[in-house]
Structure 1
């Protein structure tokens, strides 16, 4: 295994804390790495969290200067907006990189998101001073009439900001699923597109990406489909979290949300009211099987401390009841999973914190039987290990972008050959 190098930290960026690695490889071998740049603390939102990117054209040996793909606003932890938890996806048919993430206004995190999409009458709901407005086409409307109050793309208006609550006006206090894209391998990025109106149900509170990666289906009936894992909450506390995917058949123009996997212990099964924590499904990653079927590897809160795996035969629209993978221990933490080839055969590679007690012992594992067992492994580190993202590089090695410190002061990159897994 190659000696790890630091890709994100204070020496390259603007903050002291970096989290949530995401890595993608384009058809010409360009690596695009993304992370949360966290300004006032290493913690999740509420916090100011930007999306930052670095690029490598030599299989991760050297990296470009840091690029800010999404810049948020704010002066302190409680009065800042956040763009949290990236997932990158490469569309090889259009040579486009997509980034999915969750945006929240000041003071909002996974534990206190209000219910709803945040949209009404074709615009974003804004409240302040006991009044309700609709932000549409850069202007606030009240009762269908323009107010003359202009709001720019960063949320600024004269005297305040609707994302940081400065000035007294605030967008609906929930989480927003956002999508941006790059046509030049990560150098520049589009303006964010709101996905809540089409994907978030009115009864959802939190919604977010399954951080690390999405995929493009390469075989079968759904060839070309883009698939991102997500998860969402049906309440505040307890949050009632569950997983799903979103998918697009028109290269990201429109998206559809698939069903959540059925799981025993929820009642009623289709629209659960009773939903014990042991049935929660959260951050997940999706891989494609040779048939075009999908496997979803899910973080969960079951005391068994094994990753759940579910299968879809319809491109992510529906899923089988999840089963535990005995070879994939976890400590209620994110897992990376990618499809690859080993000795001419289909394989699945996973990377995660393999302890059942705490976030430590980063291990890569290889399956040669479509995810049933993972007999081959390589320990990346015996020490602290948290989130990761892996890809097969142009030179045939595995590249892993990962967190190996719970202080979250940097994100590292290493490479190894699949032959090193024993």
Structure 2
């Protein structure tokens, strides 16, 4: 009865109950196994999928058994299904199926077909023993029923690593597809599918980006294999700019590295990366005080409230700091191509930030919801432990202090 009375009051007062903080995966001080790493995808209409690591080994993927757990929403994140297992690791030492973690996900426009890429196995990304001959492994899973059931994993490790074996930079020794949201193009469609972009954290020589025109079955390097878009970059996201070019946003101490892939021929994926630019307080960019943390980059169509003109707004989530605390969202209007004519221009003069969390908080991902709001799925220190995975949503007007809607 109380629930229905609250709904009635909300209807009478015109309140929107969709923007409520939801603790989806809870880690407490007494938890035997912590959760970490947010990934979220808008499926279709009001439906969402959230995915996270369930760390039975107590540590990052590579140290032992890690499972992937999910929850589904049918109402833009106001309520969620029960937690369920997407895939379980065996915990068997040195086995390719020892663990599965750091999920990156995307849904096809039909809302039924979902691609999930993740790290698998028992090798640690940064360890000296993890090499081209003993690599950090990559797994691929599909769902064809909106995330309820999932295929057995395919090991696509060689498909990804082999792309860079002939690079003048040398072979990649260790890599993983960065967790969160895989970028799906709005503009480039080859046959049945819109192009996908997945950003890679790699050593040595930093970031790479790969693309797929067949919903993840085959992958290709975006740009020359002989260059890195962010040689000192770490965990990284990419997003499509309003003109169809691709922006890269990589974590680094105190802010972000940004770069842009400019297409000469989008259909043939021909083009070049620019010169990577550092965004921080020094250029009124994205300021992450005393931290280097994975965050989300999202670009959405909008209207300026001052003149009702159509425009675009870029959003970047990071812990505002100091350290891993106070996750917030910076924003930047992209009113024309001049606003992202070069990585240096794109990296400077961001506005905000809008503060989402007021406590310890770390990794985050952004997604545009079916109701036009901006969803954020992030890690927060709660219940005296790191971390609980939290979902919340805000209007663009809230995030930008009324400047855009």
Per-residue CA shift, 1:174-232, capped at 9, x if unaligned? 31111111111110111212222221045332211111111111125878211111121
Determine if the alignment matches structure 1 residue 178 to structure 2 residue 139: yes
Kept in 2, the 8 Å contact 1:100–1:209? The answer is yes
Q: Which residue of 2 aligns with 1:342?
A: 302
Residue 300 (structure 1) shift: 2.7
Quote the residue 2:219 is aligned against. 255
Equivalent in 221, 226, 232 of residue 280 of structure 1: 232
Aligned partners of 1:57, 1:102: CA distance in 2, in Å?
28
Matches within 5 A, 1:1-400: 2-9=19-26, 16-74=33-91, 81-92=98-109, 95-105=112-122, 108-116=124-132, 173-201=134-162, 203-219=171-187, 224-234=194-204, 242-259=206-223, 270=226, 279-300=231-252, 305-314=254-263, 318-326=272-280, 327-330=285-288, 331-343=291-303, 344-355=310-321, 357-369=322-334, 370=340, 371=346, 372-400=348-376
Q: Distance in 1 between matches of 2:97 and 2:42?
A: 32
Distance 1:15 1:92, change over 3 A: farther
Superposition CA RMSD, Å: 3.0
Corresponding residue number in structure 2 for 1:135: none
In structure 1, how many angstroms separate the alpha carbons of the residues matched to 2:94 and 2:153? 23
Secondary structure in structure 1 of the residue aligned to 2:397: helix
Counterpart in the other structure of 1:412 = 390
Shift of 1:374: 2.2
Alpha-carbon distance in structure 2 between the residues aligned to 1:411 and 1:76: 28
Separation of aligned partners in 2, 1:288 and 1:79: 33
Q: Deviations over 1:253-302 (max 9, x none)?
A: 211133579xxxxxxxx489xxxxx952111111111211111111135x
Q: Could you tell me how far apart the structure 2 residues matched to 1:77 and 1:37 are?
A: 19
CA deviations 1:141-189 (Å, max 9, x no partner) are xxxxxxxxxxxxxxxxxxxxxxxxxxxxxxxx43111111111111011
Looking at structure 2, the residues matched to 93 and 243 of structure 1 have their Cα atoms a distance apart, in angstroms, of 31
SS in 2 for 1:24: strand
- Judge conservation of contact 2:94–2:121 (CA < 8 Å) in 1: no
Give the Å deviation of 1:42: 4.3
**Hey, what does 1:146 align to over in structure 2?**
none
SS at match of 1:403: strand
Change (3 A) 1:74 1:294: same
1:106-149 Cα offsets, whole Å, 9 max, x none, are: x6453244322x5xxxxxxxxxxxxxxxxxxxxxxxxxxxxxxx
- SS of the counterpart of 2:158? helix
Give the Cα–Cα distance (whole angstroms) in 2 for the partners of residues 95 and 74 of structure 1: 30
- Which has a greater percent of helix? 2
Change (3 A) 1:111 1:313: same
**Contact conserved, 1:48 with 1:74, CA < 8 A, in 2?**
yes
- Partner residue of 2:15? none
Q: Secondary structure at the match of 2:296?
A: strand
Taking the aligned partners of 1:271 and 1:338, their CA distance within structure 2 comes to: 25
How far apart are 1:252 and its partner, in Å? 2.0
Structure 2 match to 1:170:
none
Inter-partner Cα distance in structure 1 for 2:95 and 2:106? 31
TM-score (norm 2): 0.76
CA–CA separation in structure 2 for the residues paired with 1:416 and 1:113 = 44
What is the count of residue pairs matched by the alignment? 341
The residue that corresponds to 1:125 in the other structure is none
Residue 62 and residue 199 in structure 1: after superposition, are their counterparts in 2 closer, same or farther (change >3 A)? same
* Runs of at least 5 residues in structure 1 that lack an aligned partner in the other structure: 119-172, 235-240, 262-269, 273-277
Residues 228-259 of structure 1 show CA distances to partners (whole Å, capped at 9, x for unaligned) of: 1112123xxxxxx5111121112222111335
